[in-house]
Structure 1
Amino acid sequence: MNGKGQETRRVRGLHLLLTIEHTVAITDQGPAS
């Protein structure tokens, strides 16, 4: 049952990375048109 916990953590980490990348991309572009 421990594997599922690790999987969830990995998914959360990936989601966090994607969110940060998305935020950086928006900041890079400036205000969205």
Structure 2
Amino acid sequence: MVLELNASDDRGIDVVRGPILSFASTEDHFQERL
């Protein structure tokens, strides 16, 4: 799965922080795959 975000310096990191945290918390990126 890919999460694509665009943020300019004018808007700052707070604009994308929510979606990033949400994406990271719902995906199991660190589970070993057999």
**Which of 1 and 2 has higher RCO (CA within 8 Å, sep 6+)?**
2
**Who wins on radius of gyration, i.e. which is larger?**
1
Does the alignment reach a TM-score above 0.5? Answer: no
**TM class, shorter-chain normalised?**
0.3 to 0.5
